[in-house]
Structure 1
Amino acid sequence: MGRSTETFSKKEKEKVKQKKRKDKEEKKEERKASASKGQSLDQMLAYVDENGNITSAPPDPNKKKSINTEDIRIGVSRQEATTPQDATRKGVVTFFNESKGYGFIKDQDNQDSIFVHMSGLIDPIKEHDKVTFEIEMTPKGQSAIAVKKAI
């Protein structure tokens, strides 16, 4: 006489599989019953209001705004060209490392910290010196050139 090959754990696993199949079928039937196929185009459309929110109501044509395409800025804003009168600026050296050959100048007008390299110096400078300088745009940002000690 042979012993049955079905063990308790095998029977339990099979029960769990059957329950999952049954649950899946029930969910499928429920989705079919509640599905609203054949909706009209108006029910499927969504609109965006003036604040950027999605709504089901079409926008009011009276609230329509016209926007000039030149006013739209994407990416980095354009730098204004410096005028000759503000080409020479005044500032104070906040940091300068003579051995490495670079430092920073704090602009008196807008309190910006501007990079200065040894190659842009006319007079030798050190920290806390008052200087006059011009600004040059480099790929990494503003850099001070023609740096002289202010008298």
Structure 2
Amino acid sequence: MSACQEAIEVQGTVKWFNNSKGYGFIGRDDGPDVFVHYSAIAGDGYRTLQEGDPVEFEIVQGPKGPQAANVLKAGG
């Protein structure tokens, strides 16, 4: 068995993100919303997202289903 998982690269828009809880959801045009945890946001320092931010990310299988990984703010 391989522990390797295929990641799917997609684009979406932040639906909401709760800074105090450190998580939120990203909406996609071609599928269901995806859970995002602050640890999946690329960058140094304080990592957060704002509602409406366009983002690029990978979808990986988390413990409770699909979730975002390697989240980058689009165009930045």
- Report the AA paired with residue 137 of structure 1: Q
- Where does the alignment leave 5 or more consecutive residues of structure 1 unmatched? 1-80
User: What is the distance in 2 between the residues matched to 1:134 and 1:93?
Assistant: 14
Counterparts of 1:146 and 1:107, CA distance in 2: 16
Q: List gaps (5 residues or longer) in structure 2.
A: none
Q: Which has the higher helix share?
A: 1
Number of the residue aligned with 1:97: 18
TM-score (norm 2): 0.78
Q: CA deviation at 1:108?
A: 2.1
Give the alignment of 1:45-56 within 5 angstroms. Answer: none
Say yes or no: does 1:117 pair with 2:41: no
Q: Highest relative contact order (Cα 8 Å, sep 6+), 1 or 2? A: 2
1:147 aligned onto 2:71? yes
Q: Deviations over 1:72-100 (max 9, x none)?
A: xxxxxxxxx85x7xx21000000100111
SS of aligned partner of 2:39: helix
The Cα RMSD (Å) is 1.7
Query: How many angstroms apart in 1 are the aligned matches of 2:63 and 2:37?
Result: 15
The secondary structure found in structure 2 opposite 1:119 is helix
Please identify the structure whose Cα radius of gyration is greater.
Answer: 1
Which of 56, 65, 68 is the equivalent residue of 1:132?
Answer: 56
Find runs of 4+ consecutive structure 1 residues off by over 4 angstroms: none
| TM-score w.r.t. length of structure 1 | 0.41
Aligned length: 67
Matched ranges for 1:8-27 at <5 A? none
Name the % identity: 43
